[in-house]
Each structure stands twice: as structure tokens, then as C-alpha cells.
Structure 1
Amino acid sequence: MNKTIMSAVAGALLVLGAGGAGAAAPADWSKVAAKNITLFHPGVSPLEWITKGTEHGGARGLKKGETCAECHSEETADMGKKMASGQKIEPSPIAGKASSIPVKVQAAHDGDTLYLRFTWKQPKSSGAAKMDDKNPVKIAFMLESGGKVELADQSGCWASCHADSRTMPNAADTKKKYVKGGSLAEGRFYDLVQWRSGEKKGFDGHVADTRVVEGGKALVSADGKLDGDSWSVVFARKFTGGDGDVKLEAGKAYNFGFAIHDDNAAGRFHQVSLGYKLGIDTAADLTAMKF
């Protein structure tokens, strides 16, 4: 009997370690409400650019408390075309790069674990040189709680994107994403979760004074698959974790944004969302209801 129990435990640990079935996601995602969000290539539009009134007309709105999504949510595809083509704020356009990616996003929870599902059609490859040899696709989302990160309530993850970060023009290759005044101890950080297609695994990190892709304790599993020409990636994340993990609670909403690095891209050559709100059992742009 003891051997049987030990074998069962060992088998369960192997499954968990593979990131495959560590949590029970909704059995039928078709019953979970979906929000369609179009990601777009942002070009060279760091935080310093969006807050500079002489270059970005929306800077005035930001100062008044408006959000990026309020102004741009219906025009992200058009914005992506201008930037991916080099027509606007993209000094190094990649011929054939997908300028935007429509994504269906779904969220649910079981009272202890949040489940996020992202589905999208694989864009045509540009044929450009691979920036990330290991991973044809990466997808990441970020959460922020309480608006302690300046402008996170309005700009989504843009507060972690700066003109001196690597892959930006004339920036040092060693400079990672960061938050101005970022501090885990003081709660000024983004919770960062990522899945990589080539490595077939998830990463649980954060962005404070620098970006760290590991060390979080909340991620249970991250699984993705390509079915024909359609991707589906599901994350399972505990409500509570450790340092760098935003604590989730029913009845509250959190700043939320996500990005896809398609076509073996790296750095700023990704497609990104504007900033939205993720609610747990409460009305928001995207709401995770208990199932």
C-alpha cells in the first residue's frame, strides 16, 4: 500500500513539474466570456515618448487622468500598421512583420487559482533573421496592484518601457525593463508571467528596479499548443505567492497588460496590448468569474 501511495505521489509530481496538469482549468472554455484585444507593434514609443507633449498628442490626456485605452482601443490595428511600416516612430522596420495580432482573452478562477487563456491565429512569418533562436513565440502578461507604479493605472505596462532599455536606439544591451523607483518592499512593481514555445515552459518573475524572470511562487502551470494555424496558451496562477507576486482577491481589479513576441522576435519588436483592468468577481475590462 505504501508503495502504491508513493508511486501515485511521484506521478503527480512529474505531471506538475512538466507544467501540464498542475491545475484544473475550466473544462469547457466556450462557456467562459471572452474579450477581443488587438495587440500592435509599438515601435519606439517608450514611457518618455508617450508623456512628451511635443511628440505625443495624448500626453495632455494622460496629465488629465485619461487612459491610453480610452483614446486608442479602437485604432490599435491602424497604429500598428504605421509603426511596423516605419511610417511612424520605428527607425528599424522589419519587412513583412505582423503589425497587429487579434487575440481572444478569457479569465476564470476557482477561488484559489486564476486561469487566463489566450488564443490567436499565427501570423505569416516575415522571413527576417531570428532574434530568439529558441522560441518562435513567447507570450507574457503583467499585473499591477494599487497603482503604486506611476502611470500603471493609465498606460498598462508602458511604465516598464524606457528609452534607455535594451533594443531601443542607442541603448545598452545590458539595460533591462524597469520601473521608476521600483521596489518590491514598497509594492512598486509589475508581476510578470511568461510562456516560451521553444522551451515549453513558464516563467514567474517581476519588474521592479530591473526585470527578473524567475523567483515568483504563484505560477502553477503554463501550457501552449499550436493547432493548425491557431495558438492557445493557458496560464494557471495561484491568488497568492511570494515576493514579486501580486496578491489577488475577489471583488478587486488589477492593472493588466500582455504582449506576444511572434516570429522569433525579442526586445521591443513585439506586439503589445494597451492597459486594461482585470477584475476578480467584479466588473472590469476583463472579468474572471468563479466556476
Structure 2
Amino acid sequence: MRKIMIATILSSGMLFAGSGAALAAAPDWGKVPVKKITLLYPGVSPMEWILKGTEHGGAKAYKKAETCASCHDTEAADMGKKMASGEKIEPKPIKGKAPFIPVNVQAANDGSNLYLRFTWKQPPGGGPKMDAANPVKLAFMLDDNKVERSSQAGCWETCHNDARTMPDAKDDKKTKYIAGGNASSKFYDLIQWKSKEKAVDGYVADKRVMEGGKGLVEAKGEKKGDEWTVTFTRKLAGGGEGDVNLAAGKTYSFGFAIHDDHTNGRFHHVSLGYTLGIDAQADINAAKR
């Protein structure tokens, strides 16, 4: 009986943190405000490109502390179209690649846990199956405003032109990283749900580490018709390696990405950088419920 229960948990994409951990009750999502965020296909746009004024017109404004979202929030869909088609900064366009994905984001807390919910319609696909095991993955990253420029660009600060799957990559094992990052003070908290495999609770510092976190209580996803819903329950006080400890009244840098249509590496859809507040005014406010 115990083996059957474990198999059911894993096949549904759920993860329980800790032996015998009690699962918290999710909020009434019908009463939680919705933030609509458009994810865009980013092409080859690492931080090096963003900071290069001869190629990125917004580099000057960015260097004066403007945020990516303040300039591009309403342009994300159009930007995605240019990159997915190969018109701009995409040397290897994928036929049928969705240029953007509109996502409804909701957040709440109960004093002990953060709850996040993402819903979106499955876009058309047809590209190569880079990750044959997982049709869809969704990851989010948090930073306690300690990573340089994370408050402007969200998780883009982990994207560099020498990482694997980038055209200039020389090391096929080099993943996302932060220049000068370390797991004790300068890192992004990373949590990823996978449609067919166990969820991940890790971090990005001088390299991406897909383990070590102790904050994730549950990650689950389901598809009804053409709509996906993915929810996370995460302890406010993570307590593990690479965990950002969340507190009421504070805001955090926040970004998320969807690997759609069996994609891997840079061939995902990503959000611009936003803020997540725990009972605090932010782009996304996880108010106590």
C-alpha cells in the first residue's frame, strides 16, 4: 500500500519536503488577485547583450537603474515574435515556436507558507524534443535583493553568453551562474516543477545546483483541456542551502520561466524581472489569507 501511495505522488508531479511533513492547506484561489504576465521567447539575449549599447537600445537606460519591466512589460509579446521568427537575435529559429505565453500568476501566504499558482493555455508546438521526459517544466527564482541588478532584470542576471546551448558556448556542462556568486550570501533561490519527474529545490550561485533547498513543501501541476495549472507551496523560512528566508513586510526580486514543448536550456519562455511582496506592496503581493 505504501509503495502504491508513493508512486501516485510521484506520477502526479507532487513533492513533499521532509519525512512525514504535514501538507498545508492552499488558499481559496478564487479570492486571490491575478497578475497577468507575458512570458517571451528571449532568443540569444544574455546579460552581455543587454549591457551592449550598440545592440540593445535600452542599455543606456538600464545602466541608469531603469528596470527591464518598466520599459518592456507591454512589449513582451512583440519582442517574442521578433526573436521566435529569427528576425532578431535568434540564429536558429524553431519552426512552430510560440513567441510568447500569457500567464496568470497568483500568490498568497498563511504566515508559515508561500503559495504560488500559475495558469496558462498550452500553445502550439512541434519543435524537437530536447527533453523527451518532460513535456513541460516551470521554474521560478527569488532573490533577497543581494544579487547585483536582480531588482532590474529578475533572473536574467544568471544568463550569460558562455552558458551551454548558447552559440558562443565552449563547455556543454556550463549552466546558469552569477559572477562572484556563492551559496551563503549571493545567490538566487530556484524551484522547478517538472511534468513527469520529481520537482527540484536548489539555487544558482557560481553555478546552478539542483538540490540543497529545504523550503519546498509541494509542487504539483495538471492539464485540463488546453489549460495548465501549476501550484507551489513553499515554507517562508526555507532553512536549506540556497534558500531565501521570506518575511512579512519585505519584497523580493522574482522571475519565472516555462520550458514548453519538451524544450531545454535557453529555448524556454521567460518573464521580465518583477517584485514579489510578502504582505507588502509589489508587482505580485502574496497577502496573508
Pick the TM interval, shorter chain.
over 0.9
Name the SS of the counterpart of 2:74 in structure 1: coil
Misfit runs of 4+, over 3 Å = 13-18
Q: 1:222 aligns with which of 219, 222, 233?
A: 219
Mark the CA change 1:229 to 1:49 in structure 2 (over 3 Å): closer, same or farther: same
Q: Which residue of 2 aligns with 1:140?
A: 139
Aligned partners of 2:128 and 2:263 also within 8 Å: no
Instruction: Tell me, in whole angstroms, the C-alpha distance in 1 between the residues paired with 2:209 and 2:235.
Output: 19
Cα-to-partner distance string for 1:50-105 (whole Å, 9 max, x where unaligned): 01111111110111110000000000000000000000000000011001000000
Q: Which residue of 1 aligns with 2:53?
A: 53
Q: Which residue of 1 aligns with 2:31?
A: 31
Instruction: Tell me, in whole angstroms, the C-alpha distance in 2 between the residues paired with 1:223 and 1:23.
Output: 13
The aligned length equals 277
Q: Which residue of 2 aligns with 1:265?
A: 263
Query: Residue type matched to 2:237 in 1?
Result: T
Aligned partners of 2:249 and 2:279 also within 8 Å: yes
Aligned partners of 1:16 and 1:22 also within 8 Å: no
Q: Which residue of 1 aligns with 2:172?
A: 173
Q: Which residue of 2 aligns with 1:213?
A: 210
Instruction: Tell me, in whole angstroms, the C-alpha distance in 2 between the residues paired with 1:156 and 1:69.
Output: 9
Q: Which residue of 1 aligns with 2:157?
A: 159
Instruction: Tell me, in whole angstroms, the C-alpha distance in 2 between the residues paired with 1:158 and 1:97.
Output: 21
TM-score scaled to structure 2, two decimals? 0.92
Instruction: Tell me, in whole angstroms, the C-alpha distance in 1 between the residues paired with 2:24 and 2:219.
Output: 10
Name stretches of at least 5 consecutive residues in structure 1 with no aligned partner.
1-6
Instruction: Tell me, in whole angstroms, the C-alpha distance in 1 between the residues paired with 2:194 and 2:277.
Output: 26
Instruction: Tell me, in whole angstroms, the C-alpha distance in 2 between the residues paired with 1:181 and 1:16.
Output: 38
Q: Which residue of 2 aligns with 1:117?
A: 117
Q: Which residue of 1 aligns with 2:249?
A: 251
Name the SS of the counterpart of 1:277 in structure 2: strand
Q: 1:238 aligns with which of 230, 235, 238?
A: 235
Aligned partners of 1:181 and 1:209 also within 8 Å: yes
Instruction: Tell me, in whole angstroms, the C-alpha distance in 2 between the residues paired with 1:138 and 1:19.
Output: 14
Instruction: Tell me, in whole angstroms, the C-alpha distance in 2 between the residues paired with 1:134 and 1:47.
Output: 30
Instruction: Tell me, in whole angstroms, the C-alpha distance in 2 between the residues paired with 1:104 and 1:272.
Output: 14
Instruction: Tell me, in whole angstroms, the C-alpha distance in 2 between the residues paired with 1:277 and 1:89.
Output: 27
Q: Which residue of 1 aligns with 2:84?
A: 84
Cα-to-partner distance string for 1:90-141 (whole Å, 9 max, x where unaligned): 000001100100000000011000000000000112x222000000000000
TM-score scaled to structure 1, two decimals? 0.92
Range with greater deviation from structure 2 (80-89 or 16-25): 16-25
Aligned partners of 1:44 and 1:90 also within 8 Å: yes
**Structure 1 residue 19, shift from structure 2 partner:** 2.5
Name stretches of at least 5 consecutive residues in structure 2 with no aligned partner.
17-21
Sequence identity percentage: 63
**Structure 1 residue 16, shift from structure 2 partner:** 8.0
**Structure 1 residue 243, shift from structure 2 partner:** 1.6
